[in-house]
Structure 1
Amino acid sequence: MTRSPATPLPPPKARRRLRENAALTQAQLAARVGVTHETVRAWESGRTTPRGRKREAYAKLLTTLAEEAASRQAEPVPVVVAVGAGPGALSDEATDSLVLPAKPLDGRESGASEEPGASEESGASEESGASGAGAGAESGADSGTGAVSDAGAEPGAGPLTGPEPGLAPAGMTPAQAFDALYEFSAPALVRQAYLLTGRRELARESVERAFQSAWERWPEVARDRDPVGWVRATAYEYALSPWQRFRLRHRHPEPPPADPGDRTLLNTLLRLPPPRRRTLVLYDGVGLGLPETAAETEASTPTAANRLLRAREALADRLPELADPQVLHRRLAEVASAERLRAARPPTVRRGSERRARYLTRAAIAFTVALIGTTALTLRTAPTHYEPPVSPGETVRGVPPRVAPGALSDEQLELRQKLRDQLQHGPERLTPRLD
C-alpha cells in the first residue's frame, strides 16, 4: 500500500505574499484554517510545514487567494518560484532575498516569550520544532537586516538597519547581484561587528572575509532564503573567533570612542560573554525576533531568551538608564553610527576572494605534488627483498668462548722477543735470477 502524495504548496515567501495581497493578517488566516497565529507564522517563515488535513485546507485557501488576486490584477500572482535560473541570473527567491526592509525600532515579532525558565544548556522546542543550527532565519520583512546603500557611510549616517532598497532586476549577472547585496548590507554589518569586537579594523576585516566566502559559494548563497543572514552569521563567527586574540595586530587596544557615554556602553558590552553579546546585538541591535536569534546563534529559543535576559541585566547593573529595550536599541545604534567605519568596494572584495581561492588551490596542488614526490622517493629507496637479521652468537660445547686479549705474561714476552730476534739473524731469502 503506497502513501498518497502530499498536496503541493508554494514556497514560504509566496505564501506570505498571497496573504498580504489579500489584506489578511496572520491571525485572520489562522482563524480560517483553524490553527493558531504562531503556526501560520512558522509556515510562512519555512520553519515548519503543514501536514494532513491542515495542509489540504491551507493549500485550498492559498489557491483561493491566488485566484482572487488574479481576478483583480492583469498578471497572476507568482505562486511557484523558478529555481532553475541560469548562471547569468538569480532565481526569484534569491532576488527577493536582496530586498530586506528595515524593521521599526518598536516593531518586533518575537513569536516567543522571554521567560528565563531554562538554563543555557536546556534544549526545548516550540510547536515549529527545535530552532537549532539547521533552522534558517526569516527573510523579507521579518529579518530586519537592512543597511544604508552607501559603503562609505559617514558618522551618524544611520542606525544598525537602513532604508529599504528598490527591487533588484531579475536579469542581473552574479557579479551585479553580489555587488547589490554588498552595497546594501555591508555598512550595517560592519557596525554590528564593531559592537561585537570593539575594533574597527577587525569589524571591517570580518565582513570582507564573510563576503569573500559568500562569493566563493555564490550559487548557494544566492538561492538562500536570507543571504544577508548567511553573511552575517559568517562575519560574526570570524569576528568572535578565539584565535583572534593570538594575532599581533589585535593585541594592542584601539582608541576608544570619544564620547564618555559611548565608551562606557562599549566597555560594558565587551565584558559580556560572546554568546550573550551576540544574542543582545542580534535582538536589541539588529531587531531580529527571538526564534530567528536562536536559530542564528545555534541555540534553542529558551536558551536564547536566557542569554538575552542575562545580558540585559548586566547592562542595567552598570547603566540603569538602558533597562528599557527601546532605549538600549537606540543607544546601540548611536554607538555604532558614531564611528567612521568604512567598507571596501565590492569589486575589491570579489578580487580578494578570487585571489584567496587561487592561493588555496595552488597550495593544495603544491601539497599534493610534495606528497606524491615523497611517496615516490620512499618507494625508490625502500628495500626490495627481505634481509633476515643476524642471529646472536651461541656457546658451543667444548670450545672456549672468545675473550678480549689481556696483558702478556713474562713467558709470552720472552717468546715474542726470541721470535723477533730470529727473524733478524735467519737465513737470507733466495731470489731467483734469470741466467
Structure 2
Amino acid sequence: MVYSLIGYIMVALLVVLLLKGKASPLTLFIILPIVAAAILGFSVTEIGDFAVIGVQTTMSNAVLFIFSILYFGIMNDAGMFDGLIDSLVKKAGTNVVAVTVVTALISTVGHLDGATATTVLVTIPAMLPIYKKLNIRPYVLIAIIASAMGVMNLLPWGGPTARTAVVLGMDANAVWQPLIPIQIAGLIFTVLLAIILGNIEKKRGAGFDPSTLSDAEIGETKVDEKVLALKRPHLAKINIILTALVIIILMLDKVQSYVVFMLAFAIAIIINYPDVKEQGRRFKAHAPSALLISATMITSGIFVGVIQETGMLDAMAQTLLNVVPSSMGSAIHIIMGVLALPIGMVLGTDAYFYGLLPLVIEVGKTYGVEPMNVAITMIIGKNVALLVSPLVPATFLAIGLADIELKDHIKFSFKWLWGVSICMLIFAVVIGLVQL
C-alpha cells in the first residue's frame, strides 16, 4: 500500500508540474524517482543500481535521437524536398481540394525529420497565402497538418515511438516496424481528411478566379538570405537517394538504427558541406534540440528504472486492478486506445508515456493483454493529438503563424483528429495488429 501511494504521488507530481510548466522533464525524471525510492528506504547504492538499469535501456534510443535530428537537420538546411514542395504548390493552383491534399503531402514530407516546429515552418508559410486567396479557413490548414504530423510521428525517431520503446525496453526501430501498416493507413486517412475538408470548404463558397491569381503569387514566401545560402539544390537527388536508403535499411532491421543514422549523418554533412568550418556551424545549429531531447530520454531511464525495480509500478497496478471492474480488464487497451487522444491532449507527451502507459501495461498483463498490444493502441491516438495539445510548443507556433485562437483551433480540429485516430485503431484491429 505504501509503495502504491508513493508511486501515485510521484506520478501525480510529475503530471502536475509538467502541466503547470513549473519544472522541466529533464530534472523531474532525475529528482522525483530518487526521492521516492529514498522515502521507501532504499539505499544510495540500490537507487544507483536501479538508475543504471533504467539508463541502459534508453541509451541506444538517445543516440538514435541525436543523430537522426542532426541528419534531418542537414537535409532540411540543404533543401532536400524544396523542389518537390514548390512543384506541389504550383500544381495545386486554385483547385480547393487539390490545395488541401497538397497540404497533407507537404506536411507529410516536412515531418520526415520528426521535428514539429520544422513541419509548421515549412508548411504554413507556403500554403497560408493560397488559403487566404481561396477563402479557405486557416483551421483547415492546421487540422490537416496536425493529422499528417501525428501519423508521421510514428517513425522510430519520433518522440512518442522512442518513449514507448523506453517503456517496453525495446529498440525504437523494433517498435516502429509493426506500426508501418498503421502509418500507411494513417497517411491514407489524412489524405481522405484533406479531401473531405476541401469539399466542405468548396460548399462554403471557397474558391478563387484563376485569372486573378498569378504563378508568382502561389506559394510566394520570403526566404532569409542566410538560409538560402545553405541550400544545395544540385544535390537534391543524392540527398533523396541517401534518405531512401536509410529508410529501407531501417525497414530491413539488419543494422542498429542509431548506427544507420550515425553513418548517414557523416555522409550527408561531408557531401553537402565539405568545408570543415561550415560542418561545425551546422552541428552547432542543430545540437541544442538534439541534445535536449536525448538528455531527457536518458534521464527518463532513471524514472522508468526506479519505478520498476523498486516494485512501485507493480504496487500501483495492483491498486488500479482493485478499482477496474474485472469485466473491463481484458479490454483496458481498447478503452485507452479510444480515449488516447483526449487524454494525451491533457497529460502531454512525457506524463502520458512515462506515467500512464507503464501503469496500463501492468494492468493489461494481469488480464492477459500483451504489453506491445497496449502500447500500440495507446500510441496511435496520442500521436494524432500532437498539434491540438496546449502542452506542445509547436501548437502555439502554428496558431501564431495562422493567426487563429487556440480555442477555435481545438474546437474545429478535435473531432476530425479524433476520428482519424479511431479509424487507425479500427484498422489495427481489422488487420490483427491489435488483439481484442
Could you state the TM-score of these two structures normalised by the residue count of structure 2? 0.26
Which has the greater radius of gyration? 1
More helix by share: 2
